[in-house]
Structure 1
């Protein structure tokens, strides 16, 4: 059974790789090269980072309103906070997906670029292209490191929000607010760290796009 599951997983990975390869080949035929796709995907990841920043700011604002609860319908506060949590989860998933897509096309571009160095007959041009490849790889390595760091900064906030939403769900009473108040400072700190990490990745994205163009 384990062997079957492993083979199934490998088949799935290869099918995804094949789909990406087919997509790149089709785009190449209409004049859209891997470099162009990489620029677009880095831009999309940047947009996802900006959206994630805003979403987690909104979630923090909603959490603050919950801990400031002073009478009324607590369930309404819970529902709003739960909605923000679910939107935050969706934003985090979208961000991860977009970063994965950046990695996929970057690897394909660098492999192609490396292979094509062997096609040069002019040594000077080959050397210049090889140097540019290495410079682009170095800048990309910095970019993807920032993106993955920003992605990881989401986890502490998401986990804390999940814990507090679950706690409030099963303790819809004013006494529960006291327990949540103790969580605010930690969530606030983690959100600020998330915002800073996203901002760094956004700046790296801008620099990388400028360099590729």
Structure 2
């Protein structure tokens, strides 16, 4: 089955399962086209890494917008406010997508490990059961490391969003050159916060890439 066709089927099945509100229906349908929970977890982790990469770029762009705002000398104050407000809203949207992708990862991982536990009980060969249990423990440990880094990266978005929110709101309530100039003193702190956020995102993305490589190697 071609990648294009498989992708289309995945999208259709995901939409159908969402409407039905039944995870088991979705998993069953995915298994019929060759996607096990392990494959789905890899896909969810991939999606989460992509969303973090997008968020990283958007936050960097928002910082540039903030710098441009505080560096202006005169000009259209309303347009200045709109620029920063739009940058904040785009960053918030990307942050929401990151959180949603992480929830998706956790949901599939939970179901995968539950199924694995259940299937361990069906082994008749003790040696194979033990080997599979060890593999599960190793996979779960690697997953725990991954999701810890993802959560840490997601949490690092909150203080930056809070700063952007407050500054956008401040400009909304005080739309004048003096208010804009007063924000310039806080640029260094915001730059530091965004740099920390980007570093956390990059660590999380690197861990996601390593997790995906391990999962594919063990297939």
Normalising to structure 1: TM-score of the pair? 0.90
Secondary structure of the 2:174 match is coil
Alpha-carbon distance, 1:18 to partner: 5.4
For residues 24 and 103 of structure 2, what CA distance do their matches in structure 1 show? 15
**Residues of 1 paired with 2:54 and 2:166: CA distance?**
23
Deviation at 1:172, TM superposition (A): 1.4
Partner of 2:208: 205
Number of the residue aligned with 2:101: 98
Q: Which residue of the partner structure matches residue 54 of structure 2?
A: 51
Alpha-carbon distance in structure 2 between the residues aligned to 1:113 and 1:65: 52
Which segment is superposed worse, 168-177 or 60-69?
A: 168-177
Deviations 1:155-210 (A, max 9, x none): 00000000000111121111102321122112111100100000010010001001
Which of 194, 198, 205 lines up with 1:195 in the alignment? 198
Deviation at 1:114, TM superposition (A): 0.9
- Residue-by-residue CA offset, 1:59-111 (whole Å, 9 max, x unaligned): 00000001101011111111111111000110010000000000000000001
Offset at 1:212? 0.6
CA distance in 2, matches of 1:19, 1:59: 38
Task: Find the aligned partners of 2:19 and 2:56 in 1 and give their Cα distance.
Answer: 30
Q: How far is 1:29 from its partner? A: 2.2
What is the alpha-carbon distance in structure 1 between the residues aligned to residue 82 and residue 21 of structure 2? Answer: 43
- Structure 2 unaligned runs (5+)? 1-17
Alignment of 1:4-153 (within 5 A): 19-153=22-156
Q: Does residue 174 of structure 2 align to residue 171 of structure 1?
A: yes
Note closer, same or farther for the CA distance 1:16–1:191 as it changes in structure 2 (3 Å cut).
Answer: farther
CA RMSD in angstroms, aligned pairs only: 1.5
| Residue 8 of structure 2: aligned partner | none
Structure-1 separation of matches of 2:215 and 2:117: 16
- Aligned equivalents of 2:69 and 2:23: distance in 1? 45
**Which sections of structure 1, spanning at least 5 residues, go unmatched?**
1-14
TM superposition outliers: structure 1 runs of 4+ over 4 Å: 15-18
SS in 2 for 1:172: coil
Q: TM-score, normalised by structure 2?
A: 0.88
